[in-house]
Amino acid sequence: MKIPWSPLAYGLMFLLSLLLIFDVANSVTVAASNTQVLLNSFRSTGSELQRRAEVSSAVLVASSQLLPPRNDSVKPASPGRDSSSPDSTSAPPEGENVVEEGVEDAQTSTRKTFSKVMGVNLPRVLWRDISMLHEAFLPGFRFNHQITKVTSLIVSVSFVWLWVYFRFLYQNDRSEHLSHWHVADEGTILPEEISPGGTLPNSDVIPDLIVVFHHPSHQDQPDKSKVAAFADLHKVLVAEVPTWKVLPEEGVSIHEKPSLDAPILGHRPNDAIMHGHEEDGWVALDGAAGFVSLQVEGSIQEEDLEGMGSACKQLERQSGKPLDLEAFGLLRDVAKRAFEASSRSRLDSLSLAKRLSIGQHEEQGPNREKESPPSLAMAREALLKDIYAVLPRWGFDATVFSSVDVDEIYVCISLDNVAALESYLLRNNVSLQIQQELVPKLGVRQPNEVTSSPPFLRYDPRVVKMLHNADILDSDDARKLFKTHYGKSAEGCIVKGSDRFNMIFRQLCEYVDLDAAKNAGVICDWYPAHSQHWIHKLRATWGSFGWIGDLSFRQPVTLIHDYFGARVAFIFAWNGHYCKALFALSVLATLVFIGTWIARHYFESSTVYKRVVLAFSIVTLVWGRVASNMWFCEQRFFLKLWEANQDTHEAVRPSFQGEKGPSPVDLNLLEKQYPASAASLRRFLSTMFTLVFCAFVGGCIILWTNIFEGSMDASASIWLSIMIVFFQQVYNLIVPRLTEWENHKHQSEYYNSYVFKQFLFESVNRYCAFFFLALKQRYTKVGCPKGGCMAALNTHLTITLLILSATRIAQIFFAVLLVRAKIWWEDYNLKKARALRLADASDSCGDGNNSGKQEGFPHRSYAELQSKFAPVRLQEQIDSMMQLVLSLGFVLLFGPVAPIIVPFCLVVFVVQMRGSAYLYSHFAKRSLPRHQYGIGIWADIIKVLMMTSCILSGFLIVVYGDTFAGTPLLTRLVGMILYVAAMQLVWLLVDLVCPPNSDDVRLLKARRERVRHVLLERATDFTNVEGAIDGAEGDLSSGSPRLLTRGETSDQPSADLASVVQEGKWDDIPCFDHADYLKK
């Protein structure tokens, strides 16, 4: 959609701008005349004060003549005489002279003071002081009136344009409705499936999470016979269960530390035991598997088994959450066998004396056989069986089918069970947004605007029943109260897909680390599943290159948030905001560039670009402050709109390593902890490594400058580009491992550390060469190239930004091409295998009648198709955001001396926004819906760029501007300091005019509080409470936060499918076309 501004509107805005300029000029004239009047008034006031002083002196003289004479030599009265008697001695007449002399001195000093005041020429005194400071601190500086006029003109016109644009043309992305793109806000599931390969049939599985396993029966299974490493399996298994050890001779029970990687235990040669492994006289009871091995001599007491159960319950209390102690028992058995194998190999490598010293004797008897170490294929089968067995107990629905080429098995997990969904809502204290239509029923009248968005309310079925009893709701269905989301069924659900995925993912992460399983080769892949209904909306409103001509740059940010999560939503919201802001600055930069180009080529003014450096640096810094403040307004509004809380409790990362210890929140709970000093040391060492690597990269760039002697020809640019790309690829391999080694406990800490190190490196890798060109090139032996250093800087910055745009387009094209190539190659192999089967069948029949000709080509499910899509995980998100921040840094740092780079930076932002939207909605796996408070650490990085830009702009002005041409070093240094101080003052004025806070946030909060107060007041009315609590008692008991037992498993699509998986009949798992249980 184009900007809805007609030429008449633009004409009116131009006239308003002229009127504003004339009004400002008139105000300046009036202020000057008022100043002259004030000076005249000051002079007349001084004359009046002098006249009044003379009158006061005359009055004082007359008063002194009326006073009685003063006698300083009066003797004290005798005790028997009155001092007032006529015989008293009077004062001498000399007192009158003293008073007269004092009056005359006062009059004289008054006349002199007023004479000095009236004789002072204030402008001349000020000018003298300024001249003295000028000669002392700014020697050689001469005020250039022509540059002042040019600067005033450019700054004035720019400020008017920025005010008009941000006041009338700028459109924010706050709206929750999709009317801007002519798309309905609500709807049902589409009758067709959306996919790159075409239209899919109506029946398809719609999961929330997909886990892809290697097919155990496939002959080309990778690393099938590879030995499963215990260290890898230990990383996969997260939850720790107690191991109970019993000494049969004495019946003593010892509860050891629950850990799979426990060292060899026991202190006597006959009492040695490895964790989970039977040895002479000891037995390990594993609470996870729920069995007792009786393959040793001695008896096990009943109280020992009861003690093991109480220990398991104690572990649940210490963890603060219910634990499924039977979960992933098969995989734990494989891990124990892997540990035993690694322990035996380690012991076999020791000498006999060493083994006896640690309590291990030689094997006794020929009947004791060593088990072979488990293979990776066994670990894969165990995890597949475990995960398919445990999901129904947790209330999740699980379906499974084979890929079209029968080399993978897809486990599709979804949360559709109503009782389980209610249980997780209550357990996690989830707040849901209420229906907009409910607000008028409460008697609250609010305008139809985005600041009237309904509030969020903690889910509680009793509140629903109370409102139903109060006749506010038509029924006690929660969908009547809370906002309903569509995508899986026509009836809708009160929990959106991203929240359902988070519930499933959080539950799985308490037991297994899916990323560690993928890195260890136990699973092929895992990813959140796309919803084709939401994908259709995203493609219509956002993920299409057809919107690249929409200069309003609007995006359905709320829709993106509901589907991809807060982190992706804030990244795209920030991208779109700066697209709008850069469009305003691009207009000014283009006009400045055209003006300087015309002046250079038609008026032969070779230094014209130097005269606009000061003006455009002021414009750039003011624009940057305005854009930053407006973004913070948008960010705060979105945080309130989505009820994002910075203090939201974060789950512990599955890969976090630490020792169990009392929680600082509740000493009865045990949680993983890592010493703060050790964590700080690791982060310090990783930061030092990054700094050393940055210094190495900077040294290579200095070496490059010495080799090419500062020349920026084609060969030098090519070598520089190769060097930048090479170092970038190297550090991209280092930074994930370096950040993982820091052992962060929460995902936000990991993300911030990753971004900090990545930006620290990229700023050196990308900016160092341009800093050299702007700061040092002119002082080298070669000097500036033909046309000047600024012209060369313009050229190379333009080329760099064009390369960034082309690179992003190439990345998107390559990702799309790779997805299509994977699909084509798989289809090609399927056709080839099908042709071979038909040929074999034809040869076996001999009569040419081939029954296999009726075999249809297998259909690829959309759930399977997503496995071929490009991944969009943390590194890809950081890389895309890094490209934008670096491009914005080019504008802030070098824009004042190279205005032409601003439009090319806008191209980078637009291509990134539209290209990423197309990739996310067409050929990329669904990103994890991560929580993030705004743009996070990126805001601090932008503040650093802003301050660096202010300092660098001052430096470039005193070096390249005509104002300081030919002045000494002291003058330039003082000029730079004055410029930076002045810009800080200007930023304070900008904060007053365009503050980073918004009144809309306070209004939205007040309206929500009002609706929430009225709703709870109506719901908790005494007449509605008793019946609602009685009616909701059963719901609360059935939806209490607990695990479903074996007798309460979630509904399965096929009763025979579970036995097929548990018995390992992998060939009986059908493909999607032949899986009747997937048809809906």
- The residue ranking higher by pLDDT, 1061 or 575, is 575
What confidence tier does 291 reach under pLDDT thresholds 50, 70, 90? very low
Give 934's contacts (C-beta < 8 A, 6+ positions apart).
570, 635, 639
- 519-572 pLDDT, tens digit per residue, is 999 999 999 999 888 888 888 889 888 888 888 899 999 999 999 999 999 999
Question: What does the pLDDT average to over 296-316?
Answer: 43
> For residue 243, what are the β-bridge partners?
286
CA 850 to chain centre: 59
Q: DSSP of 710-741, one letter per residue?
A: T--SHHHHHHHHHHHHHHHHHHHHHHHHHHHH
Question: What does the pLDDT average to over 348-372?
Answer: 49
- The residue ranking higher by pLDDT, 456 or 369, is 456
- Model confidence at 1055: pLDDT above 70: no
Give the pair of three-digit tokens for residue 833: 């295998």
Residues for the chain: how many in total? 1080
Hey, what's the torsion of the CAs at 121, 126, 130, 135, to 10 degrees? 30
pLDDT of residue 667: 78
pLDDT of residue 239: 65
Helix (H) or strand (E) holding 283: strand 283-286
- 1065-1077 pLDDT, tens digit per residue, is 777 787 766 555 5
DSSP 71: -
Question: What does the pLDDT average to over 385-400?
Answer: 89
- Model confidence at 158: pLDDT above 90: yes
Helix (H) or strand (E) holding 457: strand 456-458
What confidence tier does 699 reach under pLDDT thresholds 50, 70, 90? confident
Q: Which of 287-291, 773-777, 835-839 shows the lowest per-residue confidence on average (mean pLDDT)?
A: 287-291
- The residue ranking higher by pLDDT, 157 or 202, is 157
Question: What does the pLDDT average to over 850-862?
Answer: 58
pLDDT of residue 517: 92
Question: What does the pLDDT average to over 248-255?
Answer: 37
Give the pair of three-digit tokens for residue 1078: 């997937």
Q: To the nearest whole percent, how much of the chain has pLDDT over 90?
A: 26
Question: Beta-carbon neighbour count of residue 743 at 10 Å?
Answer: 18
- The residue ranking higher by pLDDT, 1030 or 430, is 430
Give the pair of three-digit tokens for residue 832: 């080839």
pTM, rounded to two decimals: 0.79
What confidence tier does 287 reach under pLDDT thresholds 50, 70, 90? very low
Question: What does the pLDDT average to over 658-673?
Answer: 80
Question: Quick one: the chain helix, strand, coil %, rounded to 5?
Answer: 60, 5, 35
pLDDT of residue 13: 45
- Model confidence at 370: pLDDT above 60: no
Question: What does the pLDDT average to over 81-96?
Answer: 48
- 468-515 pLDDT, tens digit per residue, is 888 888 888 899 999 998 877 777 889 988 999 999 998 898 889 999
- The residue ranking higher by pLDDT, 116 or 982, is 982
Residue 329 buriedness (CB in 10 A; 0-12 / 13-18 / 19+):
buried
Cβ–Cβ under 8 Å, residues 609 and 674:
no
Question: Beta-carbon neighbour count of residue 47 at 10 Å?
Answer: 11
Residue 509 buriedness (CB in 10 A; 0-12 / 13-18 / 19+):
middle
pLDDT of residue 6: 42
pLDDT of residue 737: 92
Amino acid letter, residue 666:
D
- Model confidence at 927: pLDDT above 50: yes
d(CA 973, CA 970): 5
- 622-647 pLDDT, tens digit per residue, is 999 999 999 999 999 999 999 887 66
Question: Beta-carbon neighbour count of residue 1011 at 10 Å?
Answer: 20
pLDDT of residue 1059: 76
pLDDT of residue 101: 72
d(CA 557, CA 580): 15
pLDDT of residue 649: 66
Q: DSSP of 478-515, one letter per residue?
A: GGGTBPPB-SS-SS-BSS-HHHHHHHHHHHHHTTB-HH
- Model confidence at 941: pLDDT above 60: yes
Helix (H) or strand (E) holding 538: helix 532-541
- Mean pLDDT score of the chain: 75
- Model confidence at 106: pLDDT above 50: yes
pLDDT of residue 75: 44
Question: What does the pLDDT average to over 1000-1008?
Answer: 94
What confidence tier does 48 reach under pLDDT thresholds 50, 70, 90? low
Amino acid letter, residue 372:
S
What confidence tier does 458 reach under pLDDT thresholds 50, 70, 90? very high
d(CA 770, CA 712): 11
pLDDT of residue 279: 37
pLDDT of residue 628: 95
What confidence tier does 187 reach under pLDDT thresholds 50, 70, 90? very low
pLDDT of residue 315: 52
What confidence tier does 55 reach under pLDDT thresholds 50, 70, 90? low
